[in-house]
Structure 1
């Protein structure tokens, strides 16, 4: 049965949730599994993005030291504030995470994120210097794309690989949500490496290298690289990295990009 808000189209209605791309998790075991997958410790600061009706929030408080919850929907932000008014370990803000400066201390993100904002939220996480990990429940296709599960890798995944890994975790059926989305969801796990695979100076060069490699100047990665380096050197580097000379850029895994960069450097 729909709530009164749903019937009237008022604050918190299904129409408002659609506008905000909100699909609330309704399965408690799935919520517990998601929080458990995040590997939260009793000392951790957790940022929850879009907590909605708080399905994950209580489980996070059972495991974390502190929780910062950012909810764009004023109605649900107010409800969460009221529910946890006596708990000083949680701070709830009515805000869009994309407009928030990340914490200046180490933190992890655990969230059932709005599908429509997934790319922006991933970029926000990656840009946060103190982020240690992010466990994001999002559209299954999106999670598979950024984890390379289709056998293709995005420029963002390749660019971040020396410092952050992106992995596909558990899949969640769409009927575990309300409103029910048109597609299943899955967990995308971001982990910042304790020790980057490249130095700060090397990272700058690597980022430029990836940007040029994805420019598509030659049809294949090798052909593109031959625009800037001698053909014999490109051929030798591709052989070292296990990359065919006609291999399209999107099919090349991040680890091979790294080997190729080091060979050409």
Structure 2
């Protein structure tokens, strides 16, 4: 692990910061604006690569200084590294120009066009655009998987680690599996963020669990509407046979929506829609 600078104010590129603007340089202000926390822990990089198991085309959002970029390429992936910061993009491009399997693109990843051929996404993503990047991944038709280093709380919420399930996860569940695949302490980054991180793995299922996306989405949105306070009350506003379906799916009639497992939503869909 790199030297611990937790008690000092250091720029990510140079010596101790001094001067005006509260002791921050333009680079420090840009880093805050772009939510840049660079991964410096080699063990964490190895964990990311092991979970991602990269092969073929890999897109990396927020490549930063390239520690993950180069590790992915060494495993044989063809990496397109997106970096919105012009200085970082230029430095990474110059550093990797002679390396096979790396292409650096100075651009906003969330505005990139998804490849038509199968590809994966792997990245230590900026916390401030986590939702945008996850949404991009879920709507890319050829995406096979996304291995993302996110805030620990975000990964736990999306994977049911708190014992509760979010609308986003439930809505995407028939098409994507969501897994929490390891935790990364805040000290693995420079500058050190205020929270720990975790590896979120989203994998496209070989075969969807439901055949009709629209009817499943309508069911889930109705259940999450909050009408009546329970899943039973919400679903009974639109569907017949709700009590029998809840019993068959093992859902208590007083259950609130967050505590219904995504697999139970799939079962409800099979019984309440035709």
* TM-score w.r.t. length of structure 2: 0.90
Give the Cα–Cα distance (whole angstroms) in 1 for the partners of residues 169 and 68 of structure 2: 27
Partner of 2:39 in structure 1? 25
Question: Hey, what does 2:93 align to over in structure 1?
Answer: 81
Partners of 2:42 and 2:31 in 1: CA distance: 20
Deviations 1:125-166 (A, max 9, x none): 101111000110010000000011111111110011111011
1:183 to 169, 187, 195: 195
Whether the 8 Å contact between 2:69 and 2:102 is mirrored in structure 1 is no
Instruction: Find the aligned partners of 1:130 and 1:58 in 2 and give their Cα distance.
Output: 24
Aligned to 1:256: 264
What is the aligned-residue RMSD (CA, Å)?
1.5
Asked if the contact 2:54/2:77 (under 8 Å) is kept, the reply is no
Q: Secondary structure, in 3 states, of the residue corresponding to 1:132?
A: strand
Moved over 4 A (4+): 4-11
Q: How far apart are 1:4 and its partner, in Å?
A: 5.4
2:3 paired residue number: none
Secondary structure class of the residue paired with 2:122: strand
Q: Which residue of 2 aligns with 1:206?
A: 216
User: CA offsets per residue over residues 208-246 of structure 1, 9 Å max, x none?
Assistant: 11111111112101111111123xx11100001111111
Tell me if the contact between 2:36 and 2:126 (Cα under 8 Å) persists in the aligned partners: yes
Q: Map of 1:1-265 to 2, 5 A cutoff?
A: 2=11, 3=14, 7=18, 9-10=24-25, 13-41=27-55, 44-199=56-211, 202-230=212-240, 233-265=241-273
Contact 2:83 / 2:108 at 8 angstroms: preserved in 1? yes
Q: Aligned partners of 2:265 and 2:118: how far apart in 1?
A: 29
State whether residues 213 and 221 of structure 1, in contact with CA within 8 Å, keep that contact through their aligned partners in structure 2.
Answer: yes
Residue 18 (structure 1) shift: 1.2
Structure 2 unaligned regions, length at least 5:
1-9
**Secondary structure at 1:56 match in 2:** helix
TM (norm. structure 1) is 0.93
Alignment check: 8 A CA contact 1:14 1:179 kept: no
Q: CA deviation at 1:115?
A: 0.7
Q: Shift of residue 10 of structure 1? A: 4.8
CA distance in 2, matches of 1:7, 1:171: 34
Instruction: Verify the 8 A CA contact 1:133 1:189 in the aligned structure 2.
Output: yes
Structure 1's unaligned 5+ residue stretches are none
Aligned pairs, number:
258
Partner Cα distance (1:59, 1:168) in 2: 21
